[in-house]
């Protein structure tokens, strides 16, 4: 054992220049000094301001771009602009992350179905209280398509749509943001109920009942029907 002990989790003391540039720009955005829509200095200006080469600046900007913090436009009125974070980006990120984590890190179908139930039952309750006419119309159409669609994959998409609209009707963007990736990952990776007798008929039936409760504004019924529905789905898929 030499004089300098090697740590269990080594960190390099000197961060790469592109990392430092990215960090500084990022903290300007997070602190609110740069706000959505603001234009960052041009790459050439950043070169002189940071005293690094253009490649370094560009690598820093690329890192920020892929985090959806900024975006670039070409042309004379172009440049790098601070992005407005929006729910869709967050959902997309979560979808890929959950997809990669599923099966490892102790993240299994069970966890996803459990989280789904935790989120979706209260969402159904809120949906019954807050749904707009647009949501109701969306649910009606989803139900119609669900019954009409042929083929396994197509039905699944419609099922997801129905559940998603219910959550959206709760009018809390956080709930939509968290459930949407769950639905997609479950759909993409796990749900394969080909063998279950009467599966589609029961889904249609329960969706219809949930819709009725939401439409009538019956919060308790909506929550309870959704709870029953999801608990049955868990039984089906958690074998």
> What is the Cα–Cα distance from 93 to 181, expressed in whole angstroms?
9
118 binds a second copy (CB under 8 A): yes
Say how many residues touch a second copy, by CB under 8 A: 50
Q: Contact 167/127 with Cβ under 8 angstroms?
A: yes
Please, which residue, 80 or 123, has the CB nearer to DNA? Answer: 80
Integer-rounded Cα Rg, in Å, for the chain is 24
> What is the Cα–Cα distance from 217 to 120, expressed in whole angstroms?
16
Decide which of a second copy, DNA, none touches 25; Cβ closer than 5 to 8 Å per partner kind: none
Decide which of DNA, a second copy, none touches 43; Cβ closer than 5 to 8 Å per partner kind: DNA
Q: Write out 96-145 in H/E/C secondary structure.
A: HHHHHHCCCCCCCHHHHHHHHHHHHHHHHHHHHHHCCHHHHHHHHHHHHH
What mask, x for binding a second copy by CB under 8 A, covers residues 24 to 53? -----xx-----x-----------------
What is the nearest approach in angstroms of a second copy to the Cβ of residue 90?
5
Distance of CA 22 to the CA centre of its chain: 25
Choice from 4, 66, 77, 153 touching DNA (CB under 7 A): 77
Please, which residue, 39 or 234, has the CB nearer to DNA? Answer: 39
Choice from 51, 78, 154, 173 touching a second copy (CB under 8 A): 173
Q: Write out 39-85 in H/E/C secondary structure.
A: ECCCHHHHHHHHCCCHHHHHHHHHHHHHCCCEEEECCCCCEEEECCC
Only one residue has tokens 């989280």, namely 115
18 binds a second copy (CB under 8 A): yes
Q: Under rule CB under 7 A, which residues in 17-76 are in contact with DNA?
A: 17-18, 40, 42-44, 51-56, 58-59, 61, 72-76
Please, which residue, 81 or 199, has the CB nearer to DNA? Answer: 81
Q: Under rule CB under 8 A, which residues in 67-86 are in contact with a second copy?
A: 67-68, 74, 84-86
Query: 165-180: buried (b, 16+ CB within 10 Å) or exposed (e) per residue?
Result: bbbbbbbeeebbbbbb
What are the residues binding DNA (CB under 7 A)?
Answer: 2, 12, 14, 16-18, 40, 42-44, 51-56, 58-59, 61, 72-80
What are the residues binding a second copy (CB under 8 A)?
Answer: 12, 18, 22, 29-30, 36, 55, 58-60, 62-68, 74, 84-87, 89-90, 93-94, 96-101, 104-107, 111-112, 114-115, 118-119, 122-123, 172-175, 178, 182
């Amino acid at each position: 054992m030499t004089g300098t002990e090697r740590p269990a989790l080594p960190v390099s003391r000197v961060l790469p220049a592109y990392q430092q540039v990215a960090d500084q720009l990022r903290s300007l955005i997070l602190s609110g000094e740069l706000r959505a829509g603001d234009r960052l200095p041009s790459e050439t200006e950043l070169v002189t301001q940071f005293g690094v080469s253009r490649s370094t600046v560009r690598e820093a900007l690329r890192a920020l771009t892929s985090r959806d913090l900024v975006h670039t436009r070409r042309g004379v009125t172009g440049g790098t602009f601070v992005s407005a974070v929006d729910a869709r980006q967050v959902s997309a990120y979560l979808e890929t992350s959950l997809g990669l984590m599923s099966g490892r890190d102790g993240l299994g179908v069970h966890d996803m179905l459990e989280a789904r139930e935790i989120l979706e039952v209260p969402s159904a309750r809120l949906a019954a209280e807050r749904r707009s006419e647009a949501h109701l119309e969306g649910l009606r159409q989803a139900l119609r398509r669900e019954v009409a669609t042929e083929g396994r994959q197509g039905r699944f998409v419609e099922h997801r749509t129905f559940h998603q609209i219910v959550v959206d009707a709760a009018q809390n963007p956080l709930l939509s943001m968290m459930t949407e990736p769950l639905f997609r990952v479950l759909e993409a990776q796990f749900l394969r109920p080909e063998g279950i007798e009467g599966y589609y008929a029961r889904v249609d039936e329960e969706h219809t009942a949930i819709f009725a409760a939401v439409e009538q504004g019956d919060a308790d019924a909506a929550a309870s029907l959704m709870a029953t529905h999801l608990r049955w789905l868990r039984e089906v898929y958690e074998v």
